[in-house]
Amino acid sequence: MASGNKTANIKTTRLELIRTKARIKLAKKGLELLKMKRKKLVFTFFDIVRQIKLSKAEVKTTLERAIESTKIAEMIEGRLKLEMIAEEQSRINLGLSASNVMGIIISQVDWEEETRTKVVGSVLSLPIAIGDVKLAYLELFRIIIDISQKETTLRKLLKEIQKLNMRINAIDYNIIPSLNNKVRYIKQKLDDFERDRTVSLKYIKARISQNG
């Protein structure tokens, strides 16, 4: 019954057949583009996963170096001096920018060039042992920020891939099959009409011949 309701509103004309075939062609082209985009996003996703894995391993080694530098600085300069210098250190100013990854806007935290210059200058003004501590923890901070950004990117990529999967499935398993069914239905009706027309013409010719 439902199938009958669907076909009841279909125009069984050659023009409608041409239009439906054009829609199928367009849907297939769109499907191909969506699959290409999904493939690129999946590749980017796993590449970032690999980068995060490497960065997390780097966190461990950098943290160990920072802790070791802190112990050395305490032995050379004393804990009190280390804490006093730590309190005097200025805050780091970070900039915020955005990048476009396959149409997905990703926020990025950037260290301004002026900030980097100040950091280097401040380290040079410190005792060597304490300067090493500062550089180690700054590097640790940079890696953690980088991991955080990449994990945010992963979440956005995953959300976009899920959306693409839904669109691809809708086109591949719903829209295109529905249009193909429509084409078959129109063709069947046009063939039926052509057969009826042929039979009618033969019948008319036969009657004319008998009357002649």
Is 163 within a domain?
Answer: yes
Query: What are the pLDDT digits (tens) for 23-32?
Result: 999 999 999 9
pLDDT above 50 for 2: no
Which has the higher per-residue pLDDT, 124 or 52?
A: 52
Tokens 């894995």 found at: 53
How would residue 94 be classed by pLDDT, with cut points 50, 70 and 90?
Answer: low
| DSSP sequence for 48-90 | HHHHHHHHHHHHHHHHHHHHHHHHHHHHHH-HHHHHHHHHHPP
pLDDT of residue 33: 95
Does any domain span residue 2? no
pLDDT tens digits for range 47-71: 999 999 999 999 999 999 999 998 9
Structure tokens at 164: 């693409």
Residues in contact with 2: Cβ distance below 8 Å, sequence separation at least 6, in sequence order? none
The answer to whether position 148 is within a domain reads yes
Helices (H), 78-127: 79-88, 113-124
Give me the chain's average pLDDT, please: 83
Res 3: pLDDT:
53
Dist. CA 130–CA 135, nearest whole Å: 9
Helix (H, G, I), strand (E, B) or coil at 93: coil
Confidence category of residue 113, pLDDT binned at 50, 70, 90? very low
Which pLDDT band, with edges at 50, 70 and 90, does 1 fall under?
Answer: very low
User: Is 14 inside any structural domain?
Assistant: no
Please give the pLDDT value at position 12: 86
Between 132 and 199, whose confidence is greater? 132
In a domain, 33, yes or no: yes
Q: How many domains does the chain have?
A: 1
If you count DSSP H runs as helices and E runs as strands, how many of each does the chain have, helices first? 6, 2
57 falls within a domain: yes
Higher-scoring residue by pLDDT: 18, 111:
18
For residue 78, being part of any structural domain is answered with yes
- Confirm whether pTM is higher than 0.85: no
Give dist(CA 131, CA 187) in Å, integer.
Answer: 81
Task: Provide mean pLDDT across the span 143-149.
Answer: 89
In which domain, by residue range, is 167 found? 25-205
What CATH number did the domain enclosing 53 receive?
1.10.287.3240
